[in-house]
Chains A and B, each alone.
Chain A
């Protein structure tokens, strides 16, 4: 519990950092008064302070948390965070944490989305794994009065999506990966490859695109991305893909895996092949799964955010949206319990869609991974 508290503090601090670094419209804790006046009904329904909407606890809202698939740690952590928020908000209807199995992820998600309205759900919180294929079902659900809040992975076209709770800024993600690659390879640079999850994962694809954009900066002139392969979030496939990358590019220096399953599998493959001196692994990983590889140097540096916080914020946002405390329009501000104040903005990383940005990253290395792994 204490650890969580401290991370949420650092999160806030980091959020301020990211926001100010972007210099964009996202920052500004004191919002112009027009925002508060814009929606008088909302002001009447909730206690507003300085244009910041607050949740009214104790209402009954039937909510569904729909991960890409069941059974891996990040999603379980998000469920825990959502559960925390549900307890704080005293929602008398229990949160449903449901999802497809991994082999049926796309069809399964579409099915859950299709049936949400008839089952009486008011909100579906989805980490979308189906790309735009989910859009028709999500649009239909919205028409039947269901709020669709994406988290972790959005609906690319934003069709059928009310809001997207983004864990980090997706463009920032590209820079962070480029920075990690550069810092591991050193000033001389070198070749690196991406080991992604599935080719349909909207968040993965957005990050890869962002990384490609980031690499155009002259700072990364010597960092060369040579290939992108897919391990489908399966240990065995990711493992063989990592082996193949090394065979394909004998002078490869870094495997960048923006997926928790891929990074651990790649690190194991390098360790088993006794190649950790030559090829380093980096990307997004869970400290508890990566600690041994970070200590022995196979994966010297990786990043992640808190999935518990992401689940918490998503639940808070969705609850407020469903109870009418917020409308889900651009410029609204709201208070999400222990995590502080957030603002709904246009999503600059997609052509359409609204975003609530959580952030920031936490970079893990030898110095802090052990403490976090516990």
Chain B
């Protein structure tokens, strides 16, 4: 056990714990809900998850730098609506163009956040709470109370959510899900191996030290917000593909789900630690809980939100306690190892002399 503990960092234990909790949750609901372990459930949940997961990746980048991006819900809604209107107006527009516009628009909206936070030195909570409201009002103004309706959208977009890339028996893997997975993998690699990714950890752990060490803190934070916006834009595109009907309330409240996913996924809200894979696990857990609760006849519609909130609190609190323990044990074990190694080295040195 101690050997295992020494090998595996506490953060990794945590990701494994999440997977374990997820399995437990699924097992529990399988006994409660008839036909729960059906491929249809998997398809429903995974497709819904794709949107949150993509947004959660962006949020992770920002939270790592000890910031937060609360504007995500409005960015998703605004981009989904804008691109939807654009496609309704010019049905001949090629799919990659629509895709690109969504990302670019999200990036631009994110860049605004980045400028305000990184260069304007406004606390991220305040700044993005402001843009959350501003982007939503912009959407209300832009829309003129019109809804983007499915029948005004081109056929390729409507067929996308029904298409399966991989079909194993009754298991359908939707293109949306694959795209989200690709995003997760790419950004996990960025965080693990690229200098930019490593700098985000340094900035979040200790912004002052990072600045003194000569890291381009402002620029990196700005880029994190820009990427978060761009990914929210991508999520907006997925949102449009999935729901088709876009009203002014599209994506409302999404930011809370995304922040919850990131926190449950073990990304430290005070910056400096966490991983994309963890955020994905958090998003999966929350989404599975949500979707399962509304399928569970035993709970009324009113209690669902409260139960979800409670479960999130439990997850985070228990995690804090357990992880704190683990970390202490891990640090002590490492220290003992080092002491022993030092003692051996000293012994060898005296013997050698």
Query: Would you call B301 and A199 a contact (CB within 8 A)?
Result: yes
B136 to chain A: which residues have CB within 8 Å?
101, 103
**B290-320 vs A, Cβ < 8 Å mask (1 yes, 0 no):** 1100110100011000000000000000000
A273 in contact (CB, < 8 A): yes
Query: In the bound complex, do residue B35 and residue A268 qualify as a contact, i.e. CB atoms below 8 Å apart?
Result: no
Q: Given contacts A244-B295, A272-B162, are A73 and B147 in contact (CB under 8 A)? A: yes
Q: Which residue of B lies closest to A233 (CB)?
A: B249
Is there a chain A Cβ closer than 8 Å to B253's Cβ?
Answer: yes
Pair B247/A101 contact, Cβ less than 8 Å: no
CB < 8 Å: which of A71, A199, A265 contacts B245?
Answer: A265
Cross-chain pairs A/B with CB under 8 angstroms, 28 sampled: A71-B248, A72-B145, A103-B136, A199-B301, A233-B247, A234-B250, A234-B252, A235-B247, A236-B239, A236-B242, A236-B243, A240-B44, A240-B294, A243-B44, A244-B295, A247-B33, A247-B41, A247-B295, A248-B33, A264-B150, A264-B245, A268-B244, A272-B242, A273-B40, A273-B44, A288-B149, A291-B151, A292-B151
Closest to B36 in A: A247
B interface with A by C-beta (< 8 Å): 33-36, 38, 40-41, 44, 48, 136-137, 139-140, 143-147, 149-151, 161-162, 239, 242-253, 290-291, 294-295, 297, 301-302
**Which residue from B40, B144, B244, B245 sits with its C-beta under 8 Å from A261?**
B245
Nearest-neighbour CB distance to chain B for A78, whole angstroms, equals 10
Report whether A76 and B243 are in contact in the complex, using a CB–CB cutoff of 8 Å.
no
CB distance from A70 to the nearest CB of B (A): 5
Closest Cβ–Cβ distance, residue A129 to chain B (whole Å): 13
Are B44 and A71 in contact (CB-based, < 8 A)? no
Interface centre among A69, A271, A289, by most chain B C-beta atoms within 10 angstroms, is A289
Question: In the complex, A281→B48 CA distance in Å?
Answer: 21
* Docked complex Cα distance between A227 and B41 (Å): 19
Taking the closest CB of chain A, its distance from the CB of B73, in whole angstroms, is: 9
Asked whether A289 lies within 8 Å of B249 as measured between CB atoms, the reply is no
Task: Determine if B301 and A72 form an interchain contact, defined as CB atoms under 8 angstroms apart.
Answer: no
Report the number of A-B residue pairs with Cβ-Cβ less than 8 Å: 114
A33, chain B: closest CB distance, angstroms: 45
Convert A114-142 into 0s and 1s, putting 1 for each residue whose CB lies closer than 8 angstroms to a CB of B: 00000000000000000000000000000
For chain A, which range describes its interface: under 10, 10 to 19, 20 to 34, or 35 or more residues? 35 or more
A229 at the interface (CB under 8 A from B): yes
Closest to B248 in A: A71
Residues of B with C-beta under 8 A to A272? 161-162, 242
Q: Is the CB of B247 within 8 A of A72?
A: yes
For the complex, give the distance between the alpha carbons of A261 and B145 in Å: 13
Q: Is the CB of A274 within 8 A of B162?
A: yes
Q: How far is the CB of B241 from chain A (nearest CB, A)?
A: 10
